[in-house]
Chain A
Amino acid sequence: MTDSQHQTQQVPLLRVEELTVRLRGEAGIVHAVSDVSFQLQRGQTLGIVGESGSGKSVMARALMGLLPRRATHLMEGSVSLAVDGRVLELLKLSEREFRTLRGPRLAMVFQDPMTALNPVLTLGVQIAEPLQLHLGLNKAQAMARALELLTQVGIPDPEGRLRQYPHQLSGGMRQRVVIAIALACDPQVLLADEPTTALDVTVQRQVLDLLLALQRERQMGMVLITHDLGVVANRADHIAVMYAGRIVEYAPTSRLFSSMRHPYTEALFKSVPRLSDPSHTRLHAIPGRPPQLIDPAPGCAFAPRCPNAQQRCRRETPALAQIGDQHLHACFYPIGSKEVGA
Chain B
Amino acid sequence: MNSKTEHIKEPLFHITKRDQMIWYKQWIIRTIAILAALVVSGIVIMVLTKYNPLKVYAEMFKGSFGSSRKTWILLQNLAMLLCISLAVTPAFKMKFWNLGAEGQVLVGGLASAACMFYFKDSLPNAVLILIMLVGSIAAGIIWGVIPALFKAKWNTNESLFTLMMNYIAIQLVSFFIMVWVPSGSSVMGVINQSSEAGWLPIVFDQKYFLNILIVALLTAAMFVYLKYSKQGYEISVVGESQNTARYIGIDVKKVIIRTMVISGGVCGLAGFLLVSGTNHTISKELAGGMGFTAIMVSWLAKFNPVLMVITSFLIVFLQRGAGEIATAFRLNESVADILTGIILFFIIGCEFFINYKINFKKHKEVK
A and B part of one assembly: no
List residues of chain B with CB under 8 Å of any chain A CB: none
List residues of chain A with CB under 8 Å of any chain B CB: none
